[in-house]
Chains A and B, each alone.
Chain A
Amino acid sequence: MIRRGFQAAVRLGQHRALFGGPQVLPRLNLTSAFGSSTDSLVSRFCPEKTDLKDYALPNASWCPDMLDLYQEFLEKTKTDGWIKLPSFKSNRDHIQGLKLPSGLAVASDKSDWRIFTRCIQVEGQGYEYVIFFHPSEKKSICLFQPGPYLEGAPGFAHGGSLATMMDETFSKTAYLAGEGLFTVSLNIRFKNLIPVGSLAVLNVHVEKIEDQKLYMSCIAQSRDQQTVYAKCSGIFLQLQLEEESPQ
């Protein structure tokens, strides 16, 4: 009877949803959760030399506000500890040499897969954005300009496009601040619509890291901070990537 009970408990554990209980997930290696691991994550994420195209660079479609702020933060990367994050065609390009844990890894990985925020390839028509990350303060700032292909209500960006941008900024911040990988929840309060072609500045902070989860907050506002577009809180799940076996 006791053996049958154990067997039932094992079957129950196997049938639980992936995020239903922490005992189903591989435990995070504690030695990698603190201090210098952020530096090693950042150095891997931002390769110094690469042939990959970086989409987070100014182009002709960027509005003057976006260009000004970009230059301002580029100066801060030299003096105040900010880092400009590159943006490649796929997230896989950011984690070269690493892979998802075996329970989650996808068998085939096609070369035509693209990260959603770089799906619209025509300059200025979709997501134009760049993210700056501050490793020691665990905060990020994203400069986001929605193009006409992201329209919802005529002349304004679709709510989903702002939700996407917030999720993407959370995602990069969570990964670099504490190996956060999957979104657990998003709670967005929309205040105002963003006109297409205008600049929205997203400020993201990591509030706390607890129980394998990162709790973050974001506020999206205009450059002069007079108009708040939305406020958001997000929770990300920590999951350590594995080294790819050499082939």
Chain B
Amino acid sequence: MLRGCAGLLRSWALRGPKRGRSFSSEVLHVDHSLPNPSWNEDMRLLFDQFMKKSEDGSWKRLPSYKCNPPERIEDVKIFFPDAKLLKEQMSQAQQFPRSLGEGVGFEYAMFHNHVEDRTVCIFQGGPHLQGVPGFLHGGAIATMIDSALGMCAILTGGIAMTANLNINFRRPIPLCSVVVINCQLDRVEGRKLFVSCNIRSMDEKTLYSEATSKELPLPLYVVCLNLLWTFLGLGVVRFWVCFCFDLVLSPTNAQKFSILSHAKNKLKVFLSITGREALAKIY
């Protein structure tokens, strides 16, 4: 079930949420990572370039909605049972950074390459993201970096949360300009995912920022539950498949031992193999 939740979140990130109950269908179904009138020429050009790259299937555009899908809300209830998700707040809630109006805040689209395991985000910062007059606020840049790195981590390792974010700002980004955020997974150490990114201009000649992040996946007790379920799930399925296979191909074995003891021996063997496989899968 829990592995199913992680898988659901990954597929949601790629596909989009299903029909919800609390949000208006109009809000829920608008994919904001598509061109709109506020996008300037540079942004449209980059978007078209990546859509062309998506034609051979190596790249995939990630949809982006204003509200958290119901599956994600259920996941939070499992992982954070103390969370007081007030009904009123949930009906008003909007996913940051999509909560600003069209063209004035974050206009972005993310693309993922599953072969190279990297994520690219094209981003146009609007006039309501100002810091120093004429330039993007450092916090707006940090928000975009956190979103992009978080998505990179989720697509690689399932549900994850930022533990550490380290950003070096090289040059200020002018307001309303278009930049490209290139994210990649650097390494995995146990439950920790180390991701990094850089922010460059469209022509890649100007480096604006570099960042590294440590993302932590599910809490340890959830990992253990997940491991147990995988262990049992894989073990049970494989046991029955191989047991039936044995019965069909080697009837003499089944004749020699009673069916129960035969089943017991097979279960022991496959659970030991499955346990190792499950550990390798999680870690």
Contacts and interface: CB of A to CB of B under 8 A. Distances in A.
B147 interface: yes
A155 B83 contact: yes
Contact of A113 (B84, B130, B167): B130
A211 B135 CA distance: 24
Interface in B167-198: 167-172, 174-175
Contact of A154 (B93, B139, B142, B167): B93
A159 B170 contact: no
Contacts of B76: 153-156
A119 B89 contact: no
B96 A150 contact: yes
Contact of A91 (B90, B93, B130): B130
Given A125-B92, A155-B83, A160 B131 contact: no
Interface string B236-248: 0000000000000
A164 interface: yes
A37 interface: no
B204 to A, nearest CB: 14
A163 B168 contact: no
Contact of B131 (A20, A115, A161, A197): A115
Given A119-B100, A152-B96, A156-B83, A100 B134 contact: yes
Contacts of B161: 153, 159, 190, 193
B132 A161 contact: no
Bin chain A's interface residue count. 35 or more
Given A17-B170, A160-B146, A155 B85 contact: yes
A189 B165 CA distance: 7
Nearest to B134: A106
A190 B134 CA distance: 30
A90 interface: yes
B176 to A, nearest CB: 9
A165 interface: yes
Contacts of A159: 146, 150, 161-162, 165
Interface residues of B, number: 57
A72 interface: no
Interface stretch (A1-9, A176-184, A213-221): A176-184
B149 to A, nearest CB: 10
Nearest to A155: B85
Interface of A: 17-20, 90-92, 95, 100, 104-106, 109-110, 112-117, 119-120, 125-126, 148-161, 163-168, 171, 181-190, 193, 195-197
Given A116-B137, A167-B142, 9 more contacts: A18-B171, A19-B170, A100-B134, A105-B134, A119-B104, A151-B94, A157-B96, A185-B168, A196-B93
30 contacts: A17-B170, A20-B170, A90-B130, A105-B134, A106-B133, A109-B134, A115-B131, A116-B130, A119-B128, A148-B93, A149-B92, A149-B96, A151-B93, A151-B96, A153-B72, A153-B80, A153-B161, A154-B73, A155-B83, A158-B97, A159-B162, A164-B143, A165-B139, A168-B139, A171-B131, A181-B132, A186-B138, A186-B166, A186-B169, A195-B83
What 8 pairs across the A-B complex have the smallest Cβ distances?
A: A164-B139, A160-B143, A106-B134, A149-B99, A116-B137, A119-B128, A183-B138, A163-B142
